[in-house]
Amino acid sequence: MCGIVAYIGSKNATDILIEGLTRLEYRGYDSAGIAVIINNKIEVFRSVGKLLNLKNIISEKKPVSNIGIGHTRWATHGKPSYENAHPHSSFGISLVHNGIIENYLDIKRNLADKGYKFESETDTEVIAHLIHSNYKDDIFEAVKVSVKQIKGSFALAVISVNEPDKIILARHDSPLVIGISDGENFAASDIPALISYTNKFIFLEENDIAVLTKDSVTCFDFEGKKTDREIKIVDINPVMAEKAGYRHFMQKEIYEQPRAIIDTIRGKYSLEEGMVLLPELQNISIENFKRFNIVACGTSWHAGLIGKFYIEKYAKIPVEVDIASEYRYRDNIIDKNTLFIAISQSGETADTIAALRIAKKKGASILSICNVIGSTITRESDATFYTHAGPEIGVASTKAFTTQVVALFMLAIYFGQRKGDLSCEKVKEMLSELLKLPELIEHVLKLDEKIENIARNFKDFSSFLYLGRNVNYPVALEGALKLKEISYIHAEGYPAGEMKHGPIALIDKNMPVFVIATDSKVYDKVLANIQEVKARDGIVIATVTEGNNEVEKFTEFCIKLPEISEELSVFLNSIVVQLLAYHIAAELGLDVDQPRNLAKSVTVE
C-alpha cells in the first residue's frame, strides 16, 4: 500500500528513485511522484496513473540531484489526481507518506486557522504543513515534534531545502527499511526497491526516527533518544524481482512454485530419520497449547483454512481460523494456552498485525508464517517459519500461497510428532510424498496450453462458481478470489455439499462451474454435484485424477492431474485455478500484475 523510496549520495537521485518506484509499483499505482533538491529549490514532479507517465515527464525534464524522495500511491484520502499525488510540500519542506492519519481533520482545522492553504484532499499534505509549522531551523526537531501530534499509521520520508544534506525518516505502524552503502544511503517501504544497490539493511522499528546523510544513518526514538538498530544482511538475487522472459510477474511466479516449495522446506527435515526439524520453533512450548488460532487475510486466510485440516488431522489439536479484520473487533477467547499463528506474505498487513497484538496482549504465543524477512509481523512473533518464495511482485498471490500451505503441512507434522501422534515411519511416508510435489507441479504446468484454451472459451462469462470439498474447499475459495481480482469477473467459491442449500439456484447455461473432483474420500459426492450442475444446464470445468474417465462424460473441459494424496492434491488444484485465472485475465487484455483498486501489501485498515 503506497511505495516510498528515498536516496542521498553522489549519484543522480532521480534515476535511483524511478528504479526504486518501478520495483515498488505493485504497492500502489494510481499516481506517482518524486521531489529532488536542485539549486537550493525543491523540484516536484508528479503524475496521475501508472509510473510510465511519471517516467515520461522525467525523461523530458532530466532533473539531476543527489537527494530525493519518491512515492507511488494507492489512494486512501482523496481520489487519484495530480493534486493528491505525493510528494506534498510546504514552504521548502517535501514529504512522502504511507499510511493513514486519523486526526488529520483536527490538525487541518488548526493549521487553516494559522493561515495554511491546502491544495489536496490528502492527509499527507496536512503533515507537510504541520512539520513546517513546527520548523525553526532543524528539520529533525520539526519531524520529532510533529510525529507526536499525529495519530494513525505512517512511514514518512522528509526533505528540507534548508538542509539538503539529510533525509528524515519516521515510522509508526507502516514499514520502512534503510539500505546502507558506501557514500550513499537509501530508504524504501520494501526491500525489493533497493536490492540492486545493497544487501545491508536496517529495518526501522515502531516509533523510530532516522536521520540519513550520505555517510551516516542515526536512529532515535520519538523522544529523541538514540537507539541501536542492527544492520542485517539480506541477499536477494535482483533477477528474482525481474520478469525473466515471462509476460507477467504472476505467470513467472506461478512457474516458480516448484523451486519455491523446495526452498521453503530445505534444511527442515531428515528423510532418513523421518523427522521435521524446526529449530526456529524452540521458543514455542507445544505442551502448553490446548488450541491453535490461525489468523490472516485474503489468500493467506485460505492457506490457513487448509492448515486447519492438516493440523487437526496430523497433530490432533483443535484449530480456529479467523479473518484478521473480523478477529480484531471480536471478543476472542484466547489465553496463554493458545498458539496464535499469523500468516502473511508481506508481514505488513495492518489487520493481521492488529490481531497479533491483541493475541499477544492476552498472553498467547505467536508463531508467524511469513515471506518477508524482518517484516513487522516477524519482529513481533515469538517464532517465524519463513516461506522462501522469494519476492512476490504480482499483486495476485500465487507462490506465496503454496509455500504457506507447505509450511502448514510441515508444522502439522512437526506438532504431530512432538505430541507423539505421528510415528517416524508415517512421517517418512509423508515427507517422501511431499518431496515428489515439485516434480508433480512441473507436470501440471505442462497442462498450461490446455488451460489457456479453456480460458479462451470462458473469458466472456460474467460469473463463475468454484466448488471443492474438504481440504480442497479453500482451493475453491482461492480460485474464485484469483479470478475476480485479476479478471474482474464475479466468482464465488463454495463447499460443494452446500450447493443444494442455495447456490444451485444460480445454475443455468450461463454459469460455468469449476469443480475440484480429484480423488478423495468425497469423490462420489462431488460427482453427484457435477451431475446436479449438468441437470440444470450448467457448464462444468473439472479437475480429476489421471485415469478417471467418468467425469469427462459430463464435460469436455476436464483437466487430468497426477495421482497424489487428497491432502497434497490442494497444490495441484491450486496451480490449475491460478493458471485459469491468469489466462482469462491475459486473454481479456487486463493488467494482470496490477489489477485495478488493489495493492500488494495492505498496510492500512
Give the interface with ligand F6R as residue ranges (CB under 6 A).
Answer: 297-300, 344-346, 349, 352, 396-397, 481, 485, 601-602
Taking the complex as a whole, the smallest distance from the CB of residue 327 to ligand F6R amounts, in Å, to 13
Taking the complex as a whole, the smallest distance from the CB of residue 481 to ligand F6R amounts, in Å, to 6
Largest interatomic CA distance in the chain:
79
Report CA torsion sign: 99, 103, 107, 112: positive
Provide CB contacts within 8 A for 534, sequence distance 6+.
Answer: 540, 554, 555
Q: Which of 144, 308, 560, 600 is catalytic?
A: 600
CA-based nearest residue to 364, from 259, 292, 297? 292
Taking the complex as a whole, the smallest distance from the CB of residue 297 to ligand F6R amounts, in Å, to 4
Question: Which residue's CB is nearer to ligand F6R, number 198 or number 371?
Answer: 371
For 232, list phi and psi in degrees, rounded to 5: -110, 145
Question: Which residue's CB is nearer to ligand F6R, number 157 or number 393?
Answer: 393
* The total number of residues written for the chain in this structure: 605
Question: Which residue's CB is nearer to ligand F6R, number 47 or number 397?
Answer: 397
For 33, list phi and psi in degrees, rounded to 5: -170, 160
Helix, strand, coil percentages in the chain from 3-state DSSP, rounded to 5: 40, 25, 35
Question: Which residue's CB is nearer to ligand F6R, number 527 or number 602?
Answer: 602
Question: Which residue's CB is nearer to ligand F6R, number 26 or number 557?
Answer: 26
| Dist. CA 249–CA 270, nearest whole Å | 33
- In the numeric block, which cell numbers belong to residue 49? 496513473
For 418, list phi and psi in degrees, rounded to 5: -65, -30
Taking the complex as a whole, the smallest distance from the CB of residue 304 to ligand F6R amounts, in Å, to 10
Taking the complex as a whole, the smallest distance from the CB of residue 390 to ligand F6R amounts, in Å, to 14
Residue nearest ligand F6R by beta-carbon distance: 298
Q: Which of 2, 219, 297, 370 is catalytic?
A: 2
Residues 124 and 88: beta-carbon distance below 8 Å: yes
CA-based nearest residue to 513, from 480, 475, 547, 546? 480
Taking the complex as a whole, the smallest distance from the CB of residue 344 to ligand F6R amounts, in Å, to 3
Q: What is the distance, to the nearest Å, from the Cα of residue 396 to the centroid of all Cα atoms in its chain?
A: 9
| Dist. CA 478–CA 474, nearest whole Å | 6
CA-based nearest residue to 414, from 536, 277, 506, 287? 277
Question: Which residue's CB is nearer to ligand F6R, number 1 or number 430?
Answer: 1
Taking the complex as a whole, the smallest distance from the CB of residue 287 to ligand F6R amounts, in Å, to 29
Instruction: Answer yes or no: 426 catalytic.
Output: no
Residues 541 and 458: beta-carbon distance below 8 Å: yes
Question: Which residue's CB is nearer to ligand F6R, number 126 or number 602?
Answer: 602
Taking the complex as a whole, the smallest distance from the CB of residue 601 to ligand F6R amounts, in Å, to 6
| Dihedral-angle region of residue 488 (phi above 0 means left; psi in -120 to 50 means alpha; beta otherwise) | left
Beta bridge partners of 202: 178
CA-based nearest residue to 561, from 475, 460, 461? 475
Question: Which residue's CB is nearer to ligand F6R, number 396 or number 496?
Answer: 396
Please give the sequence-ordered ranges of beta strands (E in DSSP) within 49-104, or none if there are none: 67-73, 88-90, 93-101
Residues 70 and 12: beta-carbon distance below 8 Å: no
Taking the complex as a whole, the smallest distance from the CB of residue 28 to ligand F6R amounts, in Å, to 13
Q: In what order do the strands lie in the sheet with 200-203?
A: 41-48, 31-38, 67-73, 3-8, 184-188, 177-181, 200-203, 232-233
Instruction: Answer yes or no: 600 catalytic.
Output: yes
| Dist. CA 507–CA 496, nearest whole Å | 13
Q: How many CB atoms lie within 10 A of CB 140?
A: 19
Question: Which residue's CB is nearer to ligand F6R, number 84 or number 344?
Answer: 344
Q: Active-site residue numbers?
A: 2, 600
